[in-house]
Structure 1
Amino acid sequence: MKLNALWRHSNKLFKHSFALFTLSSLSFAAFAAPLDKSKIQFIGPLAENMQLKPFQTAQSDSIISNLLPQLQLPVANFSVFDKKHSWQPFNKINALTLGGLQALKFNIETTRFSQGTLTLKGIEQGQLFINGELQKADNSSYKLALNNGSHTAIIVAQQVANWHDVILDFAPKTPSDNITLSTSQTKRLSAKQLFDAPTISGLSLAPNSEHYITTTRRFNDKTLNQANNVTELKNTDNQTLYRFEAEQPSNLIWSPDNRFLVYLLNGELKQLNRKNLSIKTLSTRLEGASGFTFYNEHSVIFSWSNPASDKGNDKLTKHYKGLQDRWSYARSVSQVYMLDTQSGLIKTLSQGPLSHSFEDFNNKRGKLLMSRPVVAMQASTHPETELVELDLKSNKLTSLGKFKTFNQAKYANKDVYVVAGPDFKNGAGRALPKEMLANNYDGQLYLLTDGGKNVKALSKQFDPAIGRLSVLNNGDALLKVTEHDTQPLYLFDLSKQRFKKLNTGLDIVEQFSYSNERNIEILLSGTTASSPQQLKRFNISKNTAKIVWDSKPLSYANTYIPTLEEFNFTNKNGVEISGRVYIPNNLDKTKKHPALVYYYGGTSPVTRGFTGRYPFNLWAANGYVVYVIQPTGATGFGQKFSAQHVNAWGNYTSDDIIAGTQAFLNKYNYVDSKKVGNLGASYGGFMTMHLATKTDLFSASISHAGISNLTSYWGEGWWGYLYSGEASKNSFPWNNPELYSKHSPVFYADKVTTPMLLIHGDSDTNVPVGESLTMYTALKLLNKDVELIEYKGANHQIIARDQRFDWWNTMLAYFDKKLKNEPQWWDYLYPND
């Protein structure tokens, strides 16, 4: 009787066209309810006069696979063999049987991880695709496991005896497995969109700005972890003149006379004529060569690694010659060469046991800038770099100085720009009180004059951290900087000694290339926090940008993007701490919702990229209010702010995160203060562990590649001692043991009360996996709530597509379990058996 009552209740819901299937009784678990046909779209017959159906051929999978992308498009109609077809409601179909192919499409909305069985009744030959992935069938039944989000279901029907008999049943696994059929074309943001969307991975603008090159990268279910790259030569009308699809060129450069595009392909240097598109090989057997740049019309400078320098790696033992020998590439030696493009002759510009890095050239003066380590294996937390100048006529090498902090050098007419930390040249760039130690990751701009004898600090009063440096023909500098949580472009006017921000309209400039004509143009790509990648052309004199290419209509059309709000607060020291908040679409603010708090790793702020390894927009799309905070110690806010990262190891940062989270909860009163999670990576992973020993403010924590013991990280990570040279400046286990013990979370593991997930790549060379193993061991022995997930073969970052999706799912599933009381997703990914 109870089952019959439930059946009648279900029929009543169906008759009222309700598409929401809510099961409120345990006896409902095996109950199947038909899907509302008015919420399902139908198209067909497609190619009704075909002699054989695809399933009757050996190429069935390929035929359906090629049709699928068209079926997935959010369009009302399309043509097949010159016949126009339109999608229409399935409940309007009166046909008994049809020739060719037919397809059904419907959108599924889930508000939590949901499982169930979808059964296709009446379809004798058919295939089900969910979000483009073919589902495995068991007698026309499909077991579904749907993440929280929007899903597109496509059914390709090849043989149906009577369409009146076709019914789609869904049986939820448990009463909480709810799905909603939606007719809306607008969907929530998905992980596939963020990872698979086409992006500009490389760009270059011709010196006369008449042509440009872009490399577009995209992923899909067919190529899986293998990216599909296409490099194209285009004109100012954005028309493609030449395309590389199979083998991809690298090291693309333009000849100074604008006649040729030169590139490296399979160890050969090729020359493409821009006028007639003919190709000529300039040089072969260039394996290990990189960094090509034209010195003049017929000479190219490049770097070339010596493979012989790696010999001995196959021995049974490795004898360490210095600290850098922990790096797999430490004994590789690279030198600078010049190639004559007319004869193919190559000559050496540097030599010796030390690697030389090409920095810049000045062909009017016949000079070349290079940098090199002072000694091959330096035992120092701040290894010295020597900047040298080569006179190409006399082969005379002149030292411009040896520096403990150095990033980049470029000519500025007769002088030299240098990007380095505040301590460059005995602290020439310091804008700090005497008692404060500088953070040399905070890049500054300098001008070396008189052959390196004198230095002028150009950015002492400029708070953004200097990153990439390029120099225009007039000596002005084009700079990519970190400014708070943005990465804009600035122009430094050498004659007026002032910085000017370029109005690109982007929060994050990812790549840029510029012309050398009088009216300078810049080709650049980037994003904002709430809009995906765009390619733009920027006119410096007008300070205006024009969109050339936009990924939004290509991959994010009809997609809800979470709302973004700025949220700043003043900490106990009177310093404003900036942040931003991502809010899910259509959030019911009369209810309480879970939240996530994220903070920086290393000493760099969390930038406003639209996506990345930590997809804030995706988290918000899954129902979390996301607070990103920029605590004390980050670069881009001025030297005093970043200097507080030194010898702190969480002191100021943790105070800011705790105070910021409390201020966030006070303002956003629709956030459930008992359902707040926190997470970070690398130094941010350390912060997660550190916070867990100091506060019970958070209800669940995730540490990715975090540091649990400062001493072991300092001694074992490939760059541990170098990073510690800033983060633990002048402090070592023997002269400051308190810093290394009192700031190491594992020493206070007994204080942890927050459930914690530790994630680590088992091949991490930056922060070895032992850091998570150590904390896991401690928390397990203390009987704490802790989980550890290792990603096989992964280094410090999760790169591969399959691992990235699994990683994103793992983090959300863990927070769903701990913050939403929804353990099903986690249990599905990591069952106890």
Structure 2
Amino acid sequence: MTTRRRFCCSLALIGLGAAAGCSGDPDTSPSPSPTGTASPSPSPSSMPSPAQTTPAPSASPTASPVNPVSMQALIQKKYDGRGLRLGRVLDRNAAYTRYAITYLSGRLTISGVLNVPNGAGPYPAVVLNHGYIDPAIYTTGRGLAREQDYLARRGFIVLHTDYRNHAGSSDDPRADLNLRIGYVEDVVNAVHAVKAAPKVAPNRIGMLGRSMGGGITYSVLAAQPGLIDAAVVFASTSSDAAQNFNHFIRNDRGNAAITSAVIKAHGSPEARPEFWRNMSPVNFFDRVTEPVLIHHGDSDDTCPIAWSRAAHAALTRAGKRSALHVYPGEQHAFDRLWPLSMQRTVAFLRQNLRD
């Protein structure tokens, strides 16, 4: 990996547990056919009951004013996700129609795609948060392509957001300086936007994120409890900000200049531990109110499975409903067992996105 690639990859939401897609563009790989696979049958989709433990208190807001690059800022921010517009038809098939869309996130316009099943509805909706893809090569709707199709064919409206600085979205010149915390804002506003879309059942909204998008999902859950009804996370980056910084940037000798720039802007984890704690959704998991389903391959060399084990353990300690499925031999981009992971995902969403 080049230094430039490593920098873009790592800086993508360092503090929000989201640096993902560093090993390429797995989200756009073709869907493996379920036919002929040796995957075992899906396990029951029911979630375990919340652990009877006393949740650890979340980090309380620091002295006023709140740092704009923090979980506290995401908690206090007002969102409306207005102005959803359906643009041109990108595809039409027997199962669904695919539209180019835009919506507003604060003062920015965010692009994306919307898959709408053919029928009267109303349908449950799922907001998809893709992993890291270099914005220089990113095109609208790229990432999670197989998940977009799979879910729409099974009766879900799917909104795939591009994030700011991607495709047709507005530019945010401070995105890198702010560790791309704005991606979380864009996703929260995507949820508000899709609730107003035609055919959507607004009280039946799920979220799915992989890699960088998994870290974004954790931050959404912690910052805005009650916004959605269930969340699915694939091969996520760490929910601990300092862990991502050290893993993707600091421990790479080729990133000395980048490491210095980040430390100059925000301080090192040793010098300013409060900043890194306040950028870590794991320290706010006591706020989560939705069930979480986590998928991770045990051969992932981009985002170690230990990160998902730690997130699952932290959610469980906080008394939250969390389930972790481990996939033997699967790397960062799921392959052989991807159909099984999606069967489990659909069962989980159908169970939790009910009237």
Q: TM-score, normalised by structure 1?
A: 0.29
Residues 758-777 of structure 1: pairs in structure 2 closer than 5 A: 758-777=294-313
Q: Specify the alignment match of 1:210 in structure 2.
A: none
CA 638–691 in structure 1, closer or farther in 2 if over 3 Å, else same: closer
Shift of 1:714: 3.0
Give the alignment partner of residue 713 of structure 1, picking from 221, 232, 244. 244
The aligned amino acid for 1:793 is G
Query: Unaligned regions of 5+ residues in structure 2, if any?
Result: 1-29, 40-88
1:563 matched residue in structure 2: 97
**Aligned match of 1:617:** 149
Q: How does 1:151-162 map to 2 (within 5 A)?
A: none
Instruction: Report the identity percentage.
Output: 22
1:617 CA drift (Å): 1.8
Query: Which one of the candidate residues 738, 743, 756 is aligned to 2:279?
Result: 743
Q: Name 1:631's counterpart in structure 2.
A: 163
1:677 aligns with 2:238: no
Q: How far is 1:629 from its partner? A: 1.2
State the secondary structure of the residue aligned to 2:346: helix
**Pick from 698, 704, 716: which aligns with 2:228?**
698
Partners of 1:631 and 1:611 lie apart in 2 by 12
SS at 2:114 equivalent:
strand
User: How many aligned residue pairs are there?
Assistant: 267
Tell me if structure 1 keeps the 8 A contact 2:128–2:159.
yes
Residues 491-548 of structure 1 show CA distances to partners (whole Å, capped at 9, x for unaligned) of xxxxxxxxxxxxxxxxxxxxxxxxxxxxxxxxxxxxx9638xxxxxxxxxxxxxxxxx
Task: Report the equivalent of 1:790.
Answer: 326
Q: Secondary structure at the match of 1:641?
A: coil
CA distance in structure 1 between the partners assigned to 2:156 and 2:272 by the alignment:
41
What is the DSSP-based 3-state SS (H/G/I as helix, E as strand, rest coil) of the residue aligned with 2:91? Answer: coil
CA distance in 1, matches of 2:202, 2:251: 36
In structure 2, C-alpha distance between the alignment counterparts of 1:682 and 1:704, rounded to whole Å: 6
1:713–1:767 contact (8 Å) kept in structure 2: no
Question: Measured at CA, do residues 755 and 560 of structure 1 come closer, stay the same or move farther in structure 2, by a change above 3 Å?
Answer: same
- 5 Å matches for 1:44-63? none
For residues 409-458 of structure 1, the C-alpha deviation after alignment (integer angstroms, 9 at most, x for no partner) is: xxxxxxxxxxxxxxxxxxxxxxxxxxxxxxxxxxxxxxxxxxxxxxxxxx
| Residue 602 in structure 1 maps to residue 132 in structure 2 | yes
Pick the structure with more strand per residue.
Answer: 1
Q: Structure 1: which amino acid aligns with 2:244?
A: Y
- Contact preservation (8 Å) 1:679, 1:701: yes
Give yes or no for contact 2:125–2:194 (8 Å, CA) kept in 1: no
- 2:187 corresponds in structure 1 to 657
> Could you tell me how far apart the structure 1 residues matched to 2:256 and 2:223 are?
24
Counterpart Cα distance in 2 of 1:601 and 1:612:
8
Q: Give TM-score, length-normalised by structure 2.
A: 0.65
Written as runs of structure 1 = structure 2, the 5 A alignment for 1:64-103 is none
| Cα gap change, 1:642 to 1:723, in 2 (>3 Å) | farther
- Retained in 2: the 8 A contact 1:763–1:793? yes
Structure-2 separation of matches of 1:723 and 1:792: 35
* Structure 2 contact 140–168 (Cα < 8 Å) conserved: no
Aligned AA (1:671): V
2-structure distance, mates of 1:773, 1:792: 14
Structure 1: tracts of 5 or more residues without a match: 1-192, 197-218, 226-527, 532-558, 822-833
Q: Which amino acid aligns with 1:815?
A: L
- Residues 269 and 276 in structure 2, CA contact (< 8 A), matched pair in contact too: yes
Letter in 1 for 2:349: F
Letter in 1 for 2:288: V
Whether contact under 8 Å (1:703, 1:759) holds in the other structure is: yes
Contact 2:209/2:233, CA 8 A, preserved across alignment: yes
Whole-angstrom distance in 1 between the partners of 2:200 and 2:185? 21
State yes or no: 1:221 paired with 2:36. Answer: yes
CA contact (8 A) 2:110 2:169 kept: no
**Residues in 2 aligned to 1:608 and 1:644: alpha-carbon distance in whole angstroms:** 19
In the alignment, does 2:184 pair up with 1:648? no
Post-superposition offset of 1:756: 0.7
- Secondary structure of 2:185 counterpart: helix
Q: Is contact 1:713-1:720 (8 Å) kept?
A: no
Task: Give 1:798 shift.
Answer: 0.6
- 1:339-350 equivalent positions in 2, closer than 5 A: none
Q: 8 Å contact 2:292–2:323 — kept in the other structure?
A: yes
Residue 809 to residue 725, structure 1, CA distance change in 2 (3 Å): farther
Give the Å deviation of 1:685. Answer: 0.3
